[in-house]
Amino acid sequence: MVEPEGAPELAHPMDPIWRAILLGTEPRFRRTRKILKHFPSPPRCKLCAAPFEPPFGRVMRAIGRSRWSGNSKYCAFCFHVVEALHGGAEIECSLLFADIRGSTALAEQMTTTAFRRLLDRFYGVANEILVEQDGIIDKYVGDEIVAIFVPALTQEAHASKAVAAASLLLAATGNSDPGGAWLPVGAGIATGVAFVGSVGTSDHRELTALGDIVNTAARLASAAGAGEILLTIPALEKAGLASAGLPRRRLDLKGKAEPVEAAVLSKRGPGG
């Protein structure tokens, strides 16, 4: 049946449950993540933060939170929740993209094995920081990491948490070190309404975010120089940085009809 033009979209029956989880009104989900994120060590389930590695990985496996065989980003327990609650909800959230600058040139200067080790080091550092700042790691795409910050995990401070995570990540990769970075990284942050939920086929589903702010954050990360964080103005205001006197740029971003104004938060030292 073809819906008439302009007809409202029908809500998925599980959307109210997803909204409760994402907005933090579902107490069991919030309690579990709050506890498990303090148990070392990464990598972790991107939903509940259960650690997969020693010293507590064995304990997690014993209570059903081992890596799920179909997608190692989730523990088996959480995946079955995602599978049962196929759907999602539109909510205000913040997206963070962090991108290695000049990765092609870096790869040319070292062996494939050495470059892989460098990426593994980056992923390990990013994973620890993002989970600690209550972000949900959406995906790793080559030399880029994507994280979602939702109200349920951040007590509504999703933009502030995204900025803190980006700042800590740039510092941890040496981008605020006057002596130079061990890995040049730039980041983009956008805040607004996105669809967050479980998408995919019955064989492979993932928790992800969809919408214009996702694309905007990705474009900002691509435009950011090493040691820079580019934020949309809504992200700047939501993070409480509107009066910080940060420099601004008007950027022509691919796929956007109008230039996007972004604030620039720099973590580069004098030698950056």
Average pLDDT over residues 193-221: 88
Mean pLDDT (the chain, rounded): 86
Q: Is residue 108 part of a domain?
A: yes
Do both 172 and 253 map to the same domain? yes
Residue with tokens 């007809």: 7
Do both 121 and 74 map to the same domain? no
Do both 157 and 242 map to the same domain? yes
Do both 70 and 148 map to the same domain? no
Do both 26 and 132 map to the same domain? no
Do both 25 and 146 map to the same domain? no
What is the predicted pLDDT for the residue at 272?
Answer: 39
Secondary structure of 113-143 in the HEC alphabet? HHHHHHHHHHHHHHHHHHHHCCCEEEEEECC
Distance CA 35, CA 164 (A): 21
112-158 confidence digits (pLDDT tens): 999 999 999 999 999 889 988 989 888 888 889 999 999 988 888 99
Asked which of 51, 85, 119 is the last residue of a domain, the reply is 85
What is the predicted pLDDT for the residue at 268?
Answer: 61
Do both 156 and 173 map to the same domain? yes
Do both 161 and 179 map to the same domain? yes
What is the predicted pLDDT for the residue at 6?
Answer: 40
Angstrom CA distances, 18 to 51, 88, 94, 116, stand at: 24, 5, 17, 36
Counted domains in the chain: 2
Asked which of 85, 119, 135 is the last residue of a domain, the reply is 85
Q: Is residue 2 part of a domain?
A: no
Residue 49 belongs to what domain range? Answer: 15-85
The pLDDT of residue 2 is above 60: no
Burial class (CB in 10 A: 0-12, 13-18, 19+), 141: exposed
Do both 225 and 255 map to the same domain? yes
Angstrom CA distances, 202 to 86, 197, 260, stand at: 9, 14, 37
Q: Say which CATH number the domain at 93 has.
A: 3.30.70.1230
Strands 185-200 and 228-232, how do they pair?
A: parallel
pLDDT band at 14 (very low <50, low <70, confident <90, very high): low
Sign of the CA dihedral running 120, 124, 125, 131: positive
Do both 262 and 135 map to the same domain? yes
Do both 151 and 223 map to the same domain? yes
Asked which of 53, 85, 117 is the last residue of a domain, the reply is 85
Q: Give the contacts of 171 (CB within 8 A, at least 6 positions apart).
A: 267
Q: Is residue 98 part of a domain?
A: yes
Q: Is residue 8 part of a domain?
A: no
Do both 57 and 128 map to the same domain? no
Q: Is residue 7 part of a domain?
A: no
Could you tell me the pTM of the whole model? 0.83
The pLDDT of residue 184 is above 90: yes
Q: What percent of the chain has pLDDT over 90?
A: 51
